[in-house]
Each structure stands twice: as structure tokens, then as C-alpha cells.
Amino acid sequence: MTGKIAIIAACLVFGGLVAQRQPGWPGTYECDGTGERGPYRAKLDIDELTETYRLRWMMESGHLFTGVGLVIGVAANDLAVSYSDFTSTVGLAIYAKDVSGELHGRWTSIGADRVFTERCRRRGVRAARGSTGRERSWTTTH
């Protein structure tokens, strides 16, 4: 019985250490992906609101997409996002976050007949938050 308790305690301690090392979702990311028109690059900003996240993708072409996300999954390592460009595109993206904070996304949009991929690497830009939890100003750390 004592051995089982020690194993459970070790799992809880080790699991807590792994969870603490993982960065949060908010920040600025540089993304590379493949879509219907081929490869693309984009800047992704993720802002934490109260219980949701606001996402903004600025494509190299200048096209802007905006989305709202919810954390899902047992370990809170996945982000489900609906997005739109407010003209013709509406879609869904699911991001998995690895221990380094890199995002691995799978996405599609209405009218597409397949799933596409995107990889996003964190940059040193974070939103400073006021007491309401809403974005107040931008600060650059790189």
C-alpha cells in the first residue's frame, strides 16, 4: 500500500512540474501553413479574455482573420477556434500546444473539402492586461 501511495505522489509531483513548464496561450506567434492556395505565412496574436481567447491572423498578403477560442482537452493543451474574415470565409481551427509553446494547428473553412495545417512559433510580444482582463497596450520584448 505504501508503494502505491509513493507512486501516486510521484506522478502528481512530476505531472505538476510538466504542467508548470508549459507557456500560456497569449502572445504573438509567427505561423507557417498550407492552405487551398498553397503555402502561407502569418502573424498570429492571441489575447486572453475572461474565459475565452481572441485571435487575430495578419496574413503576409495583408488579409486579416479574427477568431474566438476555447481551451479544450483534459490537460488544457488544445484550443478550439472559430474564425472569419467578415467577408467570405468562416472556419474552424484546432491548435495543440507542445511543451515548448509551439502551436500545431489543423483548420478548415466552409466550402473547403479538406483539412489544412499550420505551425506557429511564439515571439516576444505580449499584451499587457488591465484589471478587466482586456488588452490595454502592447509591449515588445524582442
pLDDT at residue 77 in the model: 87
For residue 3, list its beta bridge partners.
none
The 10 Å Cβ neighbour count of residue 118 is 21
User: What is the residue whose three cell numbers read 498570429?
Assistant: 44
Contacts 24+ apart (CB under 8 A), 109-115: 112/36
Of the two residues 116 and 100, the one the predictor is more confident about is 116
Tell me the C-alpha distance between 80 and 57, whole Å.
Answer: 15
pLDDT in tens, 44-84: 999 999 999 999 999 999 999 999 999 998 788 899 999 99
Query: What is the overall mean pLDDT for the chain?
Result: 79
pLDDT (mean) for 17-37: 78
Confidence of residue 124 (pLDDT cuts 50, 70, 90): low
Of the two residues 10 and 89, the one the predictor is more confident about is 89
Of the two residues 103 and 142, the one the predictor is more confident about is 103
pLDDT at residue 18 in the model: 39
**pTM of this prediction exceeds 0.75:** no
At 9, is the secondary structure helix, strand, or coil? helix
For residue 79, list its beta bridge partners.
71, 95
The cell for 115 is 483539412
pLDDT at residue 22 in the model: 52
